[in-house]
């Protein structure tokens, strides 16, 4: 029966494990190419999800493609080297606004 759910044999497990490790390694290798902050509005993912779970197994590659296309746009990439730039910018701006004694202008910074 096509698409029947069957357990993986050792070779399929090895192949899928290699794909997963490659996916993660490629993510870290290219992390600076991703925007640091989420690029979508809250709730965006609900519109992209099907109404029901799949009735047949999907390949790992299909799942990884969905992660890349649907999940990554909503992720804040904390491990990005550019994330530190945002933290430093917030700290500089916060210090500037505090020196100006304009606390209502730093409402977006909930760190303090």
pLDDT of residue 90: 60
Mapping DSSP to helix (H, G, I), strand (E, B) and coil, where does residue 34 land? coil
CA separation for the pair 71, 46 (Å, rounded): 11
- Give the alpha-carbon dihedral of 50, 54, 59, 64, to 10 degrees: 30
Distance of CA 71 to the CA centre of its chain: 5
Please report how many Cα atoms fall inside a 13 Å half-sphere around the Cα of residue 4, on the Cβ side: 4
CA separation for the pair 26, 111 (Å, rounded): 32
Domains, in order of start, for the chain: 10-80 (1.20.1340.10), 82-112 (no CATH)
If residue 23 lies in a helix (H) or strand (E), which one and from where to where? helix 10-29
Q: How far from each other are the two terminal CA atoms of the chain, in whole angstroms? A: 60
Find tokens 């490790």 and name the residue.
21
CA separation for the pair 105, 101 (Å, rounded): 9
pLDDT of residue 112: 47
pLDDT of residue 60: 92
pLDDT of residue 64: 95
pLDDT of residue 23: 93
pLDDT of residue 1: 47
pLDDT, averaged in runs of 10, over the chain (112 residues): 73 94 90 83 90 88 93 80 61 58 50 48
């Amino acid at each position: 029966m096509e698409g029947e759910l069957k357990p993986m044999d050792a070779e399929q497990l090895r192949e899928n494990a290699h794909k997963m490790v490659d996916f993660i390694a490629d993510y870290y290798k290219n992390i600076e190419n991703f925007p640091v902050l989420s690029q979508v509005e809250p709730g965006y993912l609900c519109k992209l999800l099907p109404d029901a779970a799949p009735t047949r197994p999907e390949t790992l590659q299909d799942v990884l493609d969905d992660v890349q296309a649907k999940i990554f746009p909503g992720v804040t990439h904390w491990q990005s080297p550019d994330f530190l730039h945002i933290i430093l910018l917030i700290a500089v701006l916060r210090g500037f606004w505090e020196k100006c004694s304009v606390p209502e202008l730093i409402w977006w910074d909930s760190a303090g």
